[in-house]
Amino acid sequence: MSSIFVRHGERVLRLEGRGGEPVLDVLRRAGLPVQAVCGGRGTCGKCRVLLEGPAGPQEALACRLPTADGMRLALPLASNASVCCGVSSGALSPFPLSPRGGAGAAVDLGTTTVAAELFDLSTGQSLGRAGAWNAQAAFGADVLTRIAYVMEHDGGLALLQDVLRRQVLSLVEELCRRHLPPGQRAGELFLSGNTVMQHIACGLSPVSIAKAPFSPPTLFWQEAPLEWEGLAVRLSPCVAGYVGGDITAGLLSCGRLLGGRSLFVDVGTNGEMALRCGDGFLCCAVATGPAFEGGGISCGMAGLPGAVRRMSWDGAGPVLEVIGGGQPRGLCGSGLLDALALLLELGAVDQSGRLLPPDEAPRGLAPWLERDQNGNGIFFFTPDRSLFLTAGDLRALQLAKGAVAAGIEVLLRRAGLSADELDGLYLAGGLGSSLNPQSALRIGMFPPQLAGKITALGNTALAGAGEALLSERARAALFDIARRCTYVELSGDADFSRAFPEHLLFD
Ligand code: FES
């Protein structure tokens, strides 16, 4: 056993490591927020910690750093940052309150973030919200990497469940401490998350969701609550392995907006979508990878202070809008979409998605470009060349946008609709609330006919969970939505296989 000391914000924690195991494993057990996008394989470079030594702090990869007795290290500042948890819609809910005493919390179990909202169950009033980076990020950025962890480690599922449960309970406890009289705690929780997250929360193996036919052990259609340390816990019903309770809760929360022909899209590490058609919804999911959340991109980062969230060009060079102001440290999802749209507009990317080297790009861009070893370009957005996109980064974004666009095309085709017949597109999730619709249209992620019809809704999964917590009628409507969803499996679908490569191209 070795003791290591980890600075996390204001606190210094003493943690125990076993026989030189990687520091990442110790941080995981402690539920500390470290970004391990590749799941600890040493390939993403995102799990950096600051190792204190005689020569001052040095960066090191937590997954490659063996623990040593007395080691002192700090987590990067970004991992302490608070997380925006979206809007409350409790007050706007069309469903009547089912009043009872005490307090309860709605929780969005996002792959990247976990958000909670505390309510007074007698009045339906929202008392406060809190959010944090999902502590499971230390096990991988997306659900597939976390499933791989479960498959490859004895006790992996129990550890992931423990990390998630502890995080949810501590977020809710913190809310109670801040907003309730001393000693009072919440009695009920309503959770919504994707199918994998809900399985992990309940200690159910999500392994079958990773391979065809992608069937989950349960869709959580039973309404009876579970019990977590004295709390009654309900979960949102899922539709399929990759259309989960976050989507049904999202559809509940924006039910009054989704008119006759509208599309609901939640883009994160997966792209999940539902097309309102007649009395029900056609749903599908596409794999987008972590690119839209900054994962697996050279200068990608989450939407934290220092991230470029918007980008434009003033004729002389890029104009960057940085969260919190100051020096840019990376590009978050919305900044990445703007950057790609800008490169297309400038002619630095050709129709196939190739980032051009200086001698092939339009004249005038040469100072911003460099040729890489494969003959493609690297585009620099800052004079000090610290912020850039590579051809590989572009490819990841291209695959993600192509998958979303192809998914939309297949749903429209199944419904017998064309894009110009749609009344609107409603965007959920973190990226949805920050992205510039013009950029999403420019890169071809959404059909051009939707220009002017795109609305960002924020955290609809949390809003829907809040409604289901407060009202029995809302809960009944939520389960009714799940029953009215028809899942379209895209893996092996001939239409999707044809549409996907077409949507990789740029106009
Ligand atoms: S490099 Fe350490 S988790 Fe990816």
pLDDT tens readout for residues 95-144: 999 999 999 999 999 988 899 999 999 999 999 999 888 889 889 888 99
What is the spatial distance between Cα 137 and Cα 40, in angstroms, rounded to a whole number?
Answer: 11
User: What is the reported pLDDT for 91?
Assistant: 47
Same structural domain for residues 189 and 132? Answer: yes
User: What is the reported pLDDT for 78?
Assistant: 56
* Averaged pLDDT for residues 459-486: 95
Is 339 strand, coil or helix?
A: helix
* Averaged pLDDT for residues 35-45: 85
Is residue 51 included in any domain, yes or no? yes
Instruction: Kindly give the distance from the C-alpha atom of residue 62 to the centroid of ligand 1, in angstroms, as a whole number.
Output: 7
Instruction: Kindly give the distance from the C-alpha atom of residue 36 to the centroid of ligand 1, in angstroms, as a whole number.
Output: 5
Residues 6+ apart with CB under 8 A from 211: none
Same structural domain for residues 125 and 206? Answer: yes
Q: Compute the radius of gyration of the chain from its Cα atoms.
A: 23
Eight-class DSSP state of 354? P
Between β-strands 113-120 and 226-228, what pairing exists: parallel, antiparallel or unpaired?
unpaired
Residue of 27, 32, 63 with the most ligand 1 atoms within 8 Å of its CB, for mutation: 63
Instruction: Kindly give the distance from the C-alpha atom of residue 42 to the centroid of ligand 1, in angstroms, as a whole number.
Output: 4
| Continuous H helices in 416-490 | 429-434, 437-442, 460-470, 472-483
Residue of 23, 27, 34, 38 with the most ligand 1 atoms within 8 Å of its CB, for mutation: 38
Instruction: Kindly give the distance from the C-alpha atom of residue 46 to the centroid of ligand 1, in angstroms, as a whole number.
Output: 6
Q: What digits encode the pLDDT tens for the residues 293-321?
A: 887 899 988 777 899 999 999 988 999 99
Same structural domain for residues 110 and 233? Answer: yes
Share of the chain above pLDDT 70, in %: 97
Q: Which domain holds residue 198?
A: 90-257
Residue of 23, 28, 44, 139 with the most ligand 1 atoms within 8 Å of its CB, for mutation: 44
User: What is the reported pLDDT for 88?
Assistant: 46
Q: Which atom of ligand 1 is nearest to the CA of 62?
A: 2
Same structural domain for residues 180 and 31? Answer: no
Q: Which atom of ligand 1 is nearest to the CA of 35?
A: 3
Is residue 8 included in any domain, yes or no? yes
Spatial strand order in the sheet of 307-313: 318-322, 307-313, 330-331
The type of residue at 107 is: V
Is residue 107 included in any domain, yes or no? yes
Same structural domain for residues 59 and 172? Answer: no
CATH code at position 214: 3.30.420.480
Choose one of 257, 274, 304: the last residue of a domain: 257
DSSP string, 103-164: EEEEEEE-SSEEEEEEEETTT--EEEEEEEE-GGGGG-SSHHHHHHHHHHSTTHHHHHHHHH
Instruction: Kindly give the distance from the C-alpha atom of residue 263 to the centroid of ligand 1, in angstroms, as a whole number.
Output: 36
Is residue 321 included in any domain, yes or no? no
Task: Decide if pLDDT at 76 tops 90.
Answer: no
Instruction: Kindly give the distance from the C-alpha atom of residue 343 to the centroid of ligand 1, in angstroms, as a whole number.
Output: 29
Is residue 106 included in any domain, yes or no? yes
Same structural domain for residues 118 and 49? Answer: no
Instruction: Kindly give the distance from the C-alpha atom of residue 59 to the centroid of ligand 1, in angstroms, as a whole number.
Output: 13
CATH code at position 56: 3.10.20.30
Same structural domain for residues 73 and 25? Answer: yes
**Which of residues 283 and 94 earns the better pLDDT score?**
283
Is residue 85 included in any domain, yes or no? no
- Token pair 């974004």 is found at 397
Instruction: Kindly give the distance from the C-alpha atom of residue 137 to the centroid of ligand 1, in angstroms, as a whole number.
Output: 11
The DSSP element (H or E) to which 497 belongs, if any, is helix 494-504
Eight-class DSSP state of 96? P
What's the N-to-C CA distance of the chain in angstroms? 58
Cβ atoms within 10 Å, residue 48: 17
Same structural domain for residues 105 and 161? Answer: yes
Task: Decide if pLDDT at 384 tops 80.
Answer: yes
Is 305 strand, coil or helix?
A: coil
C-alpha distances in Å from residue 239, one per residue of 51, 277, 472:
45, 16, 20
Number of domains, the chain: 2
Residues in a beta bridge with 428 = 266, 458
* Averaged pLDDT for residues 31-47: 85
Q: Are 188 and 456 spatial neighbours (Cβ–Cβ below 8 Å)?
A: no
What is the spatial distance between Cα 97 and Cα 165, in angstroms, rounded to a whole number?
Answer: 27
| pTM score of the predicted model | 0.87
Q: Which atom of ligand 1 is nearest to the CA of 45?
A: 1
Residue of 46, 48, 145 with the most ligand 1 atoms within 8 Å of its CB, for mutation: 46
Q: Which atom of ligand 1 is nearest to the CA of 64?
A: 2
Class of residue 406 by CB neighbours under 10 A (exposed 0-12, middle 13-18, buried 19+): buried
Three-state secondary structure readout of 21-82:
CEHHHHHHHCCCCCCCCCCCCCCCCCCEEEECCCCCCEEEEHHHCECCCCCEEECCHHHHCC
Choose one of 257, 289, 311: the last residue of a domain: 257
Q: What digits encode the pLDDT tens for the residues 429-462?
A: 877 778 899 999 999 999 999 999 998 888 899 9
Residue of 27, 41, 297 with the most ligand 1 atoms within 8 Å of its CB, for mutation: 41
Eight-class DSSP state of 237? P
Q: Which atom of ligand 1 is nearest to the CA of 42?
A: 1
* Averaged pLDDT for residues 366-386: 96
C-alpha distances in Å from residue 66, one per residue of 18, 22, 50, 221, 475:
10, 4, 14, 44, 48
Return mean pLDDT, the chain. 91
Instruction: Kindly give the distance from the C-alpha atom of residue 47 to the centroid of ligand 1, in angstroms, as a whole number.
Output: 5
Spatial strand order in the sheet of 454-458: 454-458, 424-428, 262-267, 270-277, 280-287, 485-487
Same structural domain for residues 37 and 61? Answer: yes
* pLDDT range class, residue 398, cuts 50, 70, 90: very high
Q: Are 15 and 145 spatial neighbours (Cβ–Cβ below 8 Å)?
A: no
Residues in a beta bridge with 240 = 243
Is residue 149 included in any domain, yes or no? yes
Task: Decide if pLDDT at 400 tops 90.
Answer: yes
User: What is the reported pLDDT for 79?
Assistant: 52
Instruction: Kindly give the distance from the C-alpha atom of residue 482 to the centroid of ligand 1, in angstroms, as a whole number.
Output: 37
* pLDDT range class, residue 90, cuts 50, 70, 90: very low
Residue of 25, 61, 301 with the most ligand 1 atoms within 8 Å of its CB, for mutation: 61
What is the spatial distance between Cα 203 and Cα 160, in angstroms, rounded to a whole number?
Answer: 8
Backbone angles phi, psi at 293, to 5 degrees: -110, 15
Q: What is the largest CA-CA distance in the chain?
A: 70
Q: Are 121 and 99 spatial neighbours (Cβ–Cβ below 8 Å)?
A: yes
Same structural domain for residues 111 and 164? Answer: yes
Enumerate residues lining ligand 1, CB below 6 A.
36-38, 40, 42-47, 61, 63
Query: Of 33-37, 256-260, 429-433, which one has max mean pLDDT?
Result: 33-37
* Averaged pLDDT for residues 481-493: 95
Query: Of 44-48, 137-141, 150-154, which one has max mean pLDDT?
Result: 150-154
Protein residue with its CA nearest to atom 1 in ligand 1: 42
Same structural domain for residues 69 and 105? Answer: no
Q: What digits encode the pLDDT tens for the residues 168-222?
A: 999 999 999 999 999 999 999 999 999 999 999 999 999 999 999 999 999 999 8
Choose one of 22, 52, 80: the last residue of a domain: 80
Is residue 101 included in any domain, yes or no? yes
Instruction: Kindly give the distance from the C-alpha atom of residue 391 to the centroid of ligand 1, in angstroms, as a whole number.
Output: 21
Same structural domain for residues 56 and 118? Answer: no
* pLDDT range class, residue 224, cuts 50, 70, 90: confident
Instruction: Kindly give the distance from the C-alpha atom of residue 140 to the centroid of ligand 1, in angstroms, as a whole number.
Output: 9
